[in-house]
Copies of this chain bind each other. A is one copy, B any other.
Amino acid sequence: MKYGIVIFPSKKLQDYANSFRKRYDPHIALIPPHVTLVNPFELPDEMVKEFIQKLHQVAASIKPFSLEVYKVKTFHPAVNKIYLAIKKTDEILDLHRKLNTDILANNEKTESFVPHITIGQKLSNREHSDIVGQLTMMEVSHSEIVDRFHLLYQLENDQWTTYETFHLGKECQ
């Protein structure tokens, strides 16, 4: 199955992100607003149990931390994706590194990790340039505490379902 690991931010921040996504993000129907910690990856069924144990260990090893949204940015010209930019704090980088490098040993470099919440994607160059100036000029300033992350899996219609919650700084629950 294909899995992914994300932070779902607070309802307030998700509602804010969705106020843009409803117009600019066709993926809104596939998953609520989120911060991707691990990009989609395949995991054989027989490895899931052990993997989840490791995720609980990582979660326990990192204390709840502050997530700070400070600006709207775009990945253009690499890709026409507009996002709420999140400050690169030691904690979120540490979490990214433990998940990607330590556990999965994949090719996701934490040095290149750009924590973000996507609010627009699959935009034509015309659409992108129409809205990006307005959005990136907005004052955005919000911070909140992150105390959990989620393991999701993807259905055949590309929709994501949550499989399990992991609590930061806790051995269990």
Q: Verify if A14 is at the interface (C-beta below 8 Å from B).
A: yes
CB-CB under 8 A from A153, the residues of chain B are 11
The A contact surface, by secondary structure, is: mixed
Total count of chain A residues near the partner, CB < 8 A? 27
Tell me the chain A residues, 127-142 only, with Cβ under 8 Å from chain B: none
Q: Which residue of B lies closest to A8 (CB)?
A: B161
* Cross-chain contact of A22 among B15, B150, B157, B161 (Cβ < 8 A): B157
- Are the C-beta atoms of B11 and A155 separated by less than 8 Å? yes
Instruction: Known A15-B155, A18-B155, A155-B18; judge A162-B29 contact (CB<8 A).
Output: no
Q: Verify if A165 is at the interface (C-beta below 8 Å from B).
A: yes
Q: Which residue of B lies closest to A173 (CB)?
A: B172
- Are the C-beta atoms of A29 and B29 separated by less than 8 Å? yes
Q: Which residue of B lies closest to A18 (CB)?
A: B157
Proximity string of chain A (138-168) to chain B, C-beta cutoff 8 Å, 1 when within and 0 when not: 0000000000101001011101111111000
Tell me the chain A residues, 81-105 only, with Cβ under 8 Å from chain B: none
Q: In the complex, A155 Cα to B21 Cα: how many Å?
A: 13
Q: Verify if A56 is at the interface (C-beta below 8 Å from B).
A: yes
- Are the C-beta atoms of A15 and B161 separated by less than 8 Å? no
Further pairs besides A32-B159, A32-B161, A172-B173: 5, Cβ < 8 Å? A8-B163, A15-B157, A22-B157, A28-B157, A28-B159
